[in-house]
Each structure stands twice: as C-alpha cells, then as structure tokens.
Structure 1
Amino acid sequence: MNLLHIDASILGDASVSRTLSAAAVARLVADNPGLTVVRRDLAAAPLAHLTGAHLAAGAPGVEVSPQVRAEVEDGARALEEFLAADVVVIGAPMYNFGVPSQLKAWIDRIAVAGKTFKYGEDGRPVGLAGGKRVVVVHSRGGYYGPETPMAAAEHVESYLRAVFGFMGVTDLEIVRAEGVAVGPDVRARAIEQALGEVRRLEAA
C-alpha cells in the first residue's frame, strides 16, 4: 500500500498541522509497516500556480519555455503520486478562512478531467479517484464550528469535502485542532485532543 503525506503549512516546526500530520502518518505506519510513504512538502517545494501557459503546454505543436515545461512535469508527478496512493494524509491549516495557496496549487494539479473526474453523458460529474482514504489534519486559530458566530467563514473543511467528493473520494476523515491562536493553554489542549483522535485512527 502507498501513503501520500502532504504538508502545506509555512510555519515549519511551529506548525500545528505539521505536528499532527506527522503523528497521523506515524500512527498509520506503526499499524502497517509495509506502507510506502511519499512526502510532498508544498511549502518547501511549492508547485507553480496554474497558468494558461501550463494548460497550453499540452496542445500539439506548442512551444513552451524550459521553466514552464519543468513546472508541467512537476504537476504531472504530483498527479501520479495522488493516483498511486491508497491513503492520503493532508496537513491543512486555515489561512484567512481558506486553505493555503500552496495546497490549492496542488489541488489544481490533481483535479484533472479524465484522470480524477469526468462528466457523464447527462453532464453530471463522475469521480474517478474513489477507493482512496483521505485523512485531513486541520488546524485553525479560532472557532468555526456550525454553532459558532464564525461558522459562515469556514472554507477549509467544506472545500476539501467538496473537492475530494467531486473526485469520488467517499472515505474522508478530519482531525481538527481549533482555537490554537486563542492562548497557550487552549492551544495545548487543542493539540492534545487532536493527538488523541490521531491515536484512534483505524489501521490503514
């Protein structure tokens, strides 16, 4: 089995989502030492944001610069990593109510017609990436649950559920640490609670 580990936080060792995603991967590997782990750090080695030049590069006879060609190839590798993965663990912090732009750039490289989705004869989307297990480890500074005043500003969990559901993923789990910017004590409790959820993740 293959596990793809994605991190998107720009905070390095200070990142809550990185701490928790590493713990989730360690938990799954401990239960299945035969897992092959591929890690992509989207902050250390970001994918280029999708441009018209990248899309045009796939057309016959179009000449592109070496830089664009390299960026297209990197995007293709990201897609192949995703397609080859049985389990995907994603460290997803909330930045300004949404996912980091680095994570969005990765999603733009894996949401590819004919690879991870298609449209049926009736025009409805059909996901082609079903059968994968996706574990999202999500951190956010405040409180954005459905019962909170900021619920309408939550665009991380809702977005990731939508985009992976569009690609056919039905096995999606979310481990959440929230309130991590409220204060040191709240941060510590949130991390400990999330680590408890990580320890309860089922074997891969």
Structure 2
Amino acid sequence: MNVLLIKANDRPATESVSSRMYETFLAEVKDNKNLNVRVYDIFNEDMPYMGQDLFSAFGKSATGGELTEAEQRVLNANNKAREAFTEADVIVIAFPLWNLTIPARLQTFIDYVFAGGFTFKYDAEGNMVQLQPNKKVILLNARGGIYSTVETQAMEMSVNYLRNVFAGMFGHDIIAEVVIEGHNAQPHMAEEIFAEGMERVKAAAKLICE
C-alpha cells in the first residue's frame, strides 16, 4: 500500500501541534513492511503558485514550444505533485488551521492536482466524472481555538475545505479525521487535550497498519 504523508507545517513539533501529529503518525507507520510511506514536506518542496506560468507551460508542452525557466520550474513542481498523488493509495495530511483556512503551500499542492483531465472531467451530458476516486484519506488537523460548536463551525475553512475537495470533488473515502482543538483557548487543559488527541492519531494510523 502506497501512503502519501503530506506535512503541511514547517514549525517544530515542540511548537506546533499539527507537526507533532505528523511525527506521531509517521512513527506509527514508518516501520510497517506492508506500507510504502512517502513523505511530502510542502515547505521543503519548490512549489511556485499556480498562475499564468503554469498555464503557458501546459500550452507550450502540448505544441512543442520552448518553455521559459519560470514555466519549466512550475511545470516540474506540478508534475511532481501529480506523480505523488497518483501513486498513493492513502493520502494523509497533517495541517494546521491558519487564519481560518489552510497554509498557502498546501493550497498550492491542491491547485496542482485539482485539475480537469487529471482528477475529474465532464461527460457529454455535463456530469462530473471522478478520474482517481479509489483512494483513502486521513485528515490530521490542529487548531488552537474551538471551531466545532454550532456558532463557530461555519468559520472553519480548513477541514471543511479538504472534505469538499477530497470527498466531494475527487470521490475519495475519508476514513479518519483527527482534530485537536482548544489548547490555546483552554491552556489549563492543553496537556490533556494533546494526550487524548495523539491517541486518536495513533488509532488513525492503525487503520492502515492492520
């Protein structure tokens, strides 16, 4: 089983809960001989934003045109992300809630793979057809505030967004969501919140280790 483990935070685990979630998950799966784990650290990857350079690169590649340095750079990044995505049977994302949404580099990875002709297309009747639906997804999210209440859940645009992308658009099966929240809002409970959350991370890892 090919596992793509996306690390979407460059802060050390001593300072970042989502980085600690990533390290805990990796420790649980890295020695399993039935799993081929590929780590994709988006802060260590060269990932230019999607824009005209990428669209120009697509057009020139289709016609045999010569790419500029910027076009070749973003095309290489796009191709690397798509290759990692395509190979994966399971996609695991460890990510924080930053300013109510996901880190920009994680958005860039999604922009690379969220593409007509790659993850979806439209048939002759205008219906969307998912092109790579047979994948499982595990979401590992940390947020210092509390966004699971009726009053605040509409503000949360990280987990909700990734659900819509991977389950809604790509047709993937989200087999686990682990959300650790409230440790900044309730600092007196932080250690208890961390400990309980990391046990849930380990339980999520066991879903693919069995």
1:193 aligns with 2:184: no
- After TM superposition, the structure 1 = structure 2 runs for residues 84-163 of structure 1, keeping only pairs within 5 Å, are 84-147=87-150, 149-163=151-165
Secondary structure, aligned partner of 1:203: helix
Could you tell me which amino acid in structure 1 is paired with residue 182 of structure 2?
G
Could you tell me which amino acid in structure 1 is paired with residue 44 of structure 2?
A
* Structure 2 partner of 1:44: 44
Which structure 2 segments of 5+ residues have no match?
A: none
> CA contact under 8 A between 1:139 and 1:180: conserved in structure 2?
no
Identity %: 28
Q: 2:177, 2:149 → 1: CA distance?
A: 15
Deviation at 1:133, TM superposition (A): 1.3
> CA contact under 8 A between 2:53 and 2:70: conserved in structure 1?
no
The answer to which of 182-191 and 129-138 deviates more is 182-191
Deviation at 1:38, TM superposition (A): 1.1
The answer to which of 183-192 and 193-202 deviates more is 183-192
Which structure 1 segments of 5+ residues have no match?
A: none
Deviation at 1:118, TM superposition (A): 1.2
Deviation at 1:157, TM superposition (A): 1.3
Secondary structure, aligned partner of 1:135: strand
TM (normalized to structure 2)?
Answer: 0.88
Could you tell me which amino acid in structure 1 is paired with residue 139 of structure 2?
V
Secondary structure, aligned partner of 2:24: helix
Runs of 4+ in 1 over 6 A off after TM superposition: none
Work out the number of aligned pairs and report it: 202
Q: 1:71, 1:20 → 2: CA distance?
A: 29
TM (normalized to structure 1)?
Answer: 0.90
Deviation string for 1:22-56 (max 9, x for gaps)? 222332445x4231111111123251110111111
